[in-house]
Amino acid sequence: MKKILVCGAGGFIGGHLIAELRKQAGVSLRAVDRKPLDEWYQRFEGVENFQLNLERREDCGIAVKECDCVYNLAADMGGMGFIELNKALCMLSVLINTHLLLAARESGVQRFFFASSACVYNADKQRDPNVTALKESDAYPAMPEDGYGWEKLFSERMCRHFREDFGIQTRIARYHNVYGPLGTFDGGREKAPAAICRKVIGAKLSGKHDIEIWGDGHQTRSFMFIDDCLKGTQMLMESDFVEPLNIGSSELVSINQLVDIVEEIAGIRLARRYNLSAPKGVNGRNSDNTLIKELFGWEPTTRLRDGLEITYRWIYDEMVKVRASGGVSVVNRG
C-alpha cells in the first residue's frame, strides 16, 4: 500500500487531486492544510485529514511520517490582486517547501512533487500581449514575478539540489493559470476566470449590466482546466523527467476575449469599465508545450469555452444559493 501525502489539500487543486487519487487502487491518502477542516474546498471520508501549519518544521515532520510520495501544492497565494499586494506573504511560502524537503529527507520519502508557476518566467519576455510562448529555458536569466515568482523559482532550485545532493526524486511542474469548479471565486484570492465569471453572474443577477475589468483588457494569458492539470501532474510525477516542465494550455486569449466567452455563456452583454490602476500582471504569457508533447505525446486539450462553461455553471449555482440564504459567498464545504 503506497501512502501519498497531498499538502494544500484544502485548496482548489489539492482538493481535486485528492478526489482523483481516491480512484486509484493500492493507495492510502493523507491530506494536510492549515485551514480548519470545515473551510476546506473538498474533504473526503477514508482519507487522513490533518490541520497543520507547514511553515513549521515540526508540523512537516508529522505530515510526511510514513509517506512514500509527497505532492506539495501548499502556498500562500491567489490571483494577481493578491500576489501583487502581498509579496512578503508569498515569499514566506519558501518555509513550506524547505521544511517539507527536510522532513522528506529524514523520513525516506521516495518521490516529491512541487507545484511551481509560470510566474517564474523572465518578465522581459512577457511585455507584449502578442507574446512568444514561454519555453522552460526562459526562466533564466532570472527576473520572475516579484515576490511570488521569486519564491517559486528559489523553491525549484531547492528541489533540484535535494535531488542532486540527497537523492530525493523531485518533480517540478510550472502551472499556467489553473481554473475550474470547487475553487475560490471571491474574497480577493480568486484568479481571472473565476473573477470574470463572478462579475458577469453578479451583473446578470442584479440587473446592473456593467463590469469592471482590471487593466485595458488587452493583456493575454492561457488558462488550463483542472482536469488537464491533474492529468499532467500525475504523468510528470510517475515519469523519469527531473527538470521543471510547463503544464498549461497553449490557447492564448486576451482578458477582453475571456469576458466575451463568459458573456456568451451567460447570454448577456455588459458595458465595460477599465480600471487601469488595478493589478494586471505582465502584458502577455503563454505556455510553450513543445517539451511536454515530446515527453508524453500530450498537452492540455480542454477548450477554454468548454472549461469555462463548467466553471460558470458551478459559480452561478453557488451565488444563487448565497442570495437565497442571505449569507456570505463561500464555496461548498465538506
Active site residue 148: yes
Packed helices 304-325 and 192-206: angle between N→C axes, nearest 10 degrees: 50
Helix (H) or strand (E) holding 162: helix 148-166
Strands 220-222 and 252-254: antiparallel
Helix (H) or strand (E) holding 161: helix 148-166
Write the DSSP assignment of 207-270 as a string of letters. S--EEEEES-S--EEE-EEHHHHHHHHHHHHTSS--S-EEE----EEEHHHHHHHHHHHHT---
* Cα torsion 313, 317, 318, 323: sign: positive
Cα–Cα distances (Å) from 165 to 57, 108, 154, 160, 230, in that order, read 20, 14, 16, 9, 29
Helix (H) or strand (E) holding 5: strand 2-7
261/292 Cα distance (integer angstroms): 27
- Grid look-up 517547501 returns 97
Active site residue: 41, 71, 121, 148, which one?
A: 148
Which residues are marked as active site? 148
